Amino acid sequence: MKGNMLPFWMEFLQGPWVVVVVALIAYIFKCINILNEYERGVVFRLGRLLDQPKGPGLVLIFWPIDRMVKVSLRIVTLDVPPQDIITRDNVSVHVNAVVYFQVVDPAKAIVAVEDYLFATSQMAQTTLRSVLGQVELDDLLAEREKLNLELQTILDKQTDAWGVKVTAVEIKKVDLPQEMQRAMARQAEAERERRAKVINAEGEFQAAEKLVAAADMMAAHPMAMQMRYLQTLVEISAEKSSTIVFPFPLEMLRTFGLEQFKPVKNPDGQA
């Protein structure tokens, strides 16, 4: 039995049927396409776009009548190269950014523009120079979030016709000239000195206010002055001093009932 089958298969493999079977298998594999969950297939039939993109999953096309272009729906991270920008106050800076976008309409992304990746990249560069060239350097450094939102809005409006949605734009780095960096360092140092002087002046002013209030209180209450003198004596006695000279006004003797006390005068007539 095996001897009879072997010549049959050898005759079959040597015949024209092999070419037909191989061509049929190759055509079937050419017509079968498997798309991932994040992919869609834009199908052209005889050059005309079909209504809806295909996928995900198993997609059958009739090659060569049909031609399919795969489009990814995942978010693309586009690094915008550094751009030479002259700000509104005539400062030359180098700014680079990053753009996040994704395709929301695969048909438009293929039909409306030749290469949506390259087109979005070029649009991001020109928009970055245009928008940042209208602001001053201080706004560029301090208002990043506002500028990011403005860039995202402008880019999204321009790429909407291509079926591309710009989800975010972030300014990554701003390179300043060395002269501008030194000038900003001097400005920051001067600002810190100004704040220190203002704080010192405010402290002296508050201390003067407290001293005036204390003086008014002691003038209204003489006993407070006496208590202050006694407290000062206690503080001085804690120090390791051999001689203490402490002024004591004679007017305060009246507080102790020593009005009859008279100072002793020296021969020169001085007390």
Give tens-digit pLDDT for 230-261: 677 666 666 665 565 656 565 555 555 555 54
Give the contacts of 116 (CB within 8 A, at least 6 positions apart): 103, 109, 159, 162, 163, 164
* Cβ atoms of residues 68 and 42 within 8 Å: yes
* Cβ atoms of residues 71 and 42 within 8 Å: yes
pLDDT of residue 201: 84
pLDDT of residue 172: 87
Q: Is 162 exposed, middle or buried (0-12, 13-18, 19+ CB in 10 A)?
A: buried
pLDDT of residue 7: 59
pLDDT of residue 89: 83
Q: Residue 269's pLDDT band (boundaries 50, 70, 90)?
A: low
pLDDT of residue 61: 82
Please tell me what DSSP assigns to residue 263.
P
- 29-38, 97-106, 246-255: range with highest mean pLDDT: 97-106
* Cβ atoms of residues 128 and 155 within 8 Å: no
pLDDT of residue 3: 47
pLDDT of residue 2: 45
Q: What's the mean pLDDT when you consider all of the chain?
A: 78
Give the contacts of 117 (CB within 8 A, at least 6 positions apart): 76, 78
Give the contacts of 55 (CB within 8 A, at least 6 positions apart): 35, 39, 40, 41
Mean pLDDT, range 105-134, rounded to an integer: 91
Q: Residue 14's pLDDT band (boundaries 50, 70, 90)?
A: low
Q: Give the whole-number percent of the chain exceeding pLDDT 70.
A: 70
Cis peptide bond prior to 106, omega within 30° of 0? no
**Gap between the Cα atoms of 170 and 100, Å rounded:** 9
Q: pTM for the whole thing?
A: 0.63
**Gap between the Cα atoms of 231 and 236, Å rounded:** 9
- State pLDDT tens for residues 161-218: 999 999 999 998 888 877 765 666 666 667 677 787 888 888 888 888 887 777 777 7
pLDDT of residue 168: 93
Walk me through the domains of the chain, giving residue ranges and CATH numbers: 9-72 (no CATH), 76-176 (3.30.479.30)
**Gap between the Cα atoms of 163 and 155, Å rounded:** 12
Mean pLDDT, range 85-104, rounded to an integer: 89
Place of tokens 């031609």: 67
**Gap between the Cα atoms of 148 and 144, Å rounded:** 6
Alpha helices in the chain (DSSP H): 2-13, 17-31, 106-111, 116-132, 137-142, 144-159, 178-220, 222-237
Lowest-pLDDT choice from 40-44, 69-73, 152-156, 243-247: 243-247
* Cβ atoms of residues 140 and 89 within 8 Å: no
